[in-house]
Structure 1
Amino acid sequence: MRILVTGASGFIGQSLVPALAKRGFSVRAAARDPVRITQAPNIEPIAMPDLAYPADWSAALDDVSHVVHLAGIAHAPGRLPDDDYARINTEAVAELAGQAKGRIERFVLMSSVRAQAGLSSPTTITEMEPPAPTEIYGRTKLEAERRLAASGVDFTVLRPAVVYGPGVKGNIASLATIAKTPMPLPFGGLDNRRSLVSIENLIAAVAHVLRSQQTRNQTYLVADATPISVEGLVGAMREGLGRPPQLVKMPHGAIKRLMKSFGREADWERVCGTFEIDASKLMATGWKPEVASPDGIRQMMRAK
C-alpha cells in the first residue's frame, strides 16, 4: 500500500509519516520543504504545491493507492482572512479529491472536531448531532468534508480532538509553559471534562482506517478514551517534569488574570470549558485508544 501524505512536515505529519513507514506502509511524504522529512526506508519525500493556488497533483498521485490529507491552515483565530481558510482548507481539498478520483482506493481527510462543535459544549459530542461549527476554521473544515463526499472518491473523515504530543503548539503548549514555572498554580478544583487525543492514538486511528473497509465513506470523532480536567492536565504536566503538582484552589477570576499575564486570556473558554467527545463510533470498528490522557501528557513533557 503506497500512501500520499500531504503536510508531512507539520506537527501531525512529522510523527505520522515515520510511524506509518514502521507499520509497513510505503509513504510518499509531500511537504513544502521536503528536506525536513526524515530519511528512512519506505519514505519518499516530495515537494508539495502551494495550496494557495490551484495545483496539478498528477505526479504526487502516480502509483498511489491512498491519500492522507493533513495539509491546511491550522486553527489561528483572528490572524488570517476568511478567504485564506476557504482556499486552503476547502478548495484545495476539493481539487485534490477530484484529481484522485478513479486513481486511489481511499482518501483520508484530517478534519477537526471544530467542524462538529464550537469551543465548549454542555453535552457530550457525538457524530449523531448536526454539525454546528462556530468559527471560520470549523466551517471551512466542514465544507471540505462535504466537498470530499461529493467528489465521488471513497473517503474517511477523521475529526480529532485537540492533539497533543512532542512539539505541540497552541493552548496545550501555553499550559505547558505555565506548568514549567516554579510557583504553585491556581488550577486546583478545575474539574471540567475536556477530551484530547494523543498523537499516538491519532496515528493508530489513521493506520486503522487505512486498512479497514468498514470505515469507508464514514466520518469519525477521535479522542482519548477518557476526558481530563484542567486540574488533571496541569498536574500530569508537572508530574512529567518530575515535580509535584502544587495546585491550589482559587477563584476563576484569578485564573483568568494568570492566563492574561501569559497573553492567553482569550483562550479561557478553550481551556476551561467542558468539551467531552464520545469516540465510540470509531472504537466499534476495532480502533482502541491505548494511551490515556494523563500518561500521554506525562510522556509529552518528558520528551520536551
Structure 2
Amino acid sequence: MFDGLNSASCSQMPKVLLTGGTGFVGRPLLEALATAKYPVVSVTRKSPPITLCGVHSYVLPIFSDSNNWDVPLKGVEVVIHSAGRVHIMNEVHSNPLQAFREVNVGATLNLARQAAEAGVKRFIFISSVKVNGEETGRNRAFKPSDAPAPLDDYGVSKLEAEQALMALAKQTAMSVTIIRPVLVYGPGVKANFEKMLAAIDKGLPLPFRTINNRRSLVFIDNLIDLILLCIHHPKAANRIFLVSDGEDLSIGQILQKLAVAMNKKTPIFACPQFILELAASVVGKKEFFQRLCGSLQVDISDTRQLLGWSPPIGIDEAFAITARYYKEKKSGIPYG
C-alpha cells in the first residue's frame, strides 16, 4: 500500500521503476534503492554494468514518445524518471530545441500517461534548476514559486515537461513530484567540477580568492536522500522542490575547501574580477567564467519545512568523499 505512508520502513515496499539507472545520478540511486530493499525495475538504454539483488533490468535503446511501457510498468507503484537528453556543451544537432523536446517532453509524457493508466501512484521527475534560470544576484535565491525563466533549450524542455506532468496529475489519480537539483557533484563527477579537482591536484595557481559570488551545490548522496524521501512522503505530492547542500559558497571558498579535501597546498590568489572577465572574453571562455564566478543560489526552506528534510551530509565531508574518489580513480585503486 502506498497512499498515506509516513515511513519507508513499512513491510511492503512499493515497487519502483527507475529510468536512467546507468547515469551519474541514476546508478548510485539504483544502488540506494536496492540497499533499501525496494523492488526495482531499472530501464536503461544499454545493459547495466552491475547486477543488484531485487533489481530487474530492461534495455530500451531509444527513448521516444512511441515506447510501450506495459511490461516494465507491471505492478509498479512509483516511477522515478531521471533519464533524459542532457545539457550539451558542444551541440551539433541542427534543431536542439526539437531534440530536447522529443526526449525530455514527448518521451517523458508518454511514460507518465502510461504510468497513470497502469495505476502508478507517484511520478518523481528529476528536473533542473535551469528551469528557474542561469544566475541569481548575490544574496538572492531562486524559490520554487518563482516564475520560470529558462534561458537555454534544455531548460525550456524541462519546464515544458514539468508543466505537462502537473497537468496530467490534475487529470488522473497519479501524483507528481518535481525535484530541481543545482550542480550535482560526488564520486564520478565530470565537467567543471572535475576540472577544479584536476587543477588543484596539479597545484596550479588559481586567481579566484576574492570573487564575491555565491553558488549552491548538492552532493549526490544528499540528492538521493531527498528522492528516497519523496517516494513515500504524503506532502511531496504535486509539489516542486529545490535541493542543495544548504550552504552556499563563493568559487574561492569552493576551491579552498577542495584543496583541503585533496590535501594540497594550492595557491589561490586574488585578481580583480574585471581582468578575469576580460581575459575570459579574449580566449572565448566567457560562458565558462560565468558558470564559475556568477551567483546561483536556491532557497530550500520549502523542502526543509514541508518534508522535514535536511541534507544529511555536510559539504566538508562531501568534498572529502569526492576528492577521495578522484585520487583513487587516478591511482587505479578501486573506490570503496
Distance apart, 1:169 and its partner CA: 2.0
Residue 60 (structure 2) aligns with: 48
Residue 111 (structure 2) aligns with: 96
1:178 and 2:190 correspond: no
Residue 12 (structure 1) aligns with: 25
Residues 13-64 of structure 1: per-residue CA shift (max 9 Å, x gap)? 111100121122122111111232x212122222124124521111111111
**Gap runs ≥5 in structure 2:** 1-13, 327-336
Matching residue within 125, 136, 139 for 2:156: 139
The whole-number CA distance in structure 1 between the counterparts of 2:148 and 2:105 is 16
Residue 51 (structure 2) aligns with: 39
Residues 247-283 of structure 1: per-residue CA shift (max 9 Å, x gap)? 1111225545886899854211112111111111111
Matching residue within 141, 153, 157 for 1:124: 141
**Counterpart amino acid of residue 152 in structure 2:** E
Q: Which moved more, 1:114-123 or 1:126-135?
A: 114-123
1:110 and 2:126 correspond: yes
Taking a change above 3 Å as real, the CA distance of residues 143 and 2 of structure 1, as seen in their structure-2 partners, is same
SS in 2 for 1:28: strand
The whole-number CA distance in structure 2 between the counterparts of 1:198 and 1:32 is 25
Residues 154-210 of structure 1: per-residue CA shift (max 9 Å, x gap)? 110001111111111222222223222223221211231110111010000000010
1:23 and 2:32 correspond: no
Residue 219 (structure 1) aligns with: 240
Taking a change above 3 Å as real, the CA distance of residues 82 and 22 of structure 1, as seen in their structure-2 partners, is same
**Equivalent runs, 1:69-80 vs 2, <5 Å:** 69-77=81-89, 79=91, 80=93
SS in 1 for 2:180: strand
**Counterpart amino acid of residue 235 in structure 1:** Q
Q: Which moved more, 1:132-141 or 1:244-253?
A: 244-253
Taking a change above 3 Å as real, the CA distance of residues 165 and 259 of structure 1, as seen in their structure-2 partners, is farther
**Counterpart amino acid of residue 146 in structure 2:** E
Contact 2:19 2:83 in 1 (8 A): yes
The whole-number CA distance in structure 2 between the counterparts of 1:40 and 1:272 is 40
**Equivalent runs, 1:293-304 vs 2, <5 Å:** 293-304=315-326
SS in 1 for 2:218: strand
Structure-1-length-normalised TM-score:
0.93
Contact 2:203 2:264 in 1 (8 A): no
Identity of aligned residues (%): 28
Contact 1:109 1:157 in 2 (8 A): yes
1:193 and 2:214 correspond: yes
Contact 2:65 2:109 in 1 (8 A): no
Q: Which moved more, 1:221-230 or 1:69-78?
A: 69-78
Residue 84 (structure 1) aligns with: 99
Q: Which moved more, 1:146-155 or 1:58-67?
A: 146-155
Contact 1:233 1:297 in 2 (8 A): no
Residue 233 (structure 1) aligns with: 254
**Counterpart amino acid of residue 97 in structure 1:** A
Q: How large is the RMSD of aligned CA atoms in angstroms?
A: 2.1
Contact 1:82 1:136 in 2 (8 A): yes
Matching residue within 225, 232, 252 for 2:273: 252
**Counterpart amino acid of residue 308 in structure 2:** G
Residue 204 (structure 1) aligns with: 225
The whole-number CA distance in structure 1 between the counterparts of 2:294 and 2:316 is 18
Taking a change above 3 Å as real, the CA distance of residues 299 and 258 of structure 1, as seen in their structure-2 partners, is farther
The whole-number CA distance in structure 1 between the counterparts of 2:278 and 2:36 is 46
SS in 2 for 1:11: coil
The whole-number CA distance in structure 2 between the counterparts of 1:116 and 1:251 is 29
Distance apart, 1:237 and its partner CA: 1.8
**Equivalent runs, 1:159-174 vs 2, <5 Å:** 159-174=180-195
Matching residue within 261, 280, 288 for 2:310: 288
**Gap runs ≥5 in structure 1:** none
Larger radius of gyration: 2
Residues 119-167 of structure 1: per-residue CA shift (max 9 Å, x gap)? 3445211112111111111111010001111223311000111111111
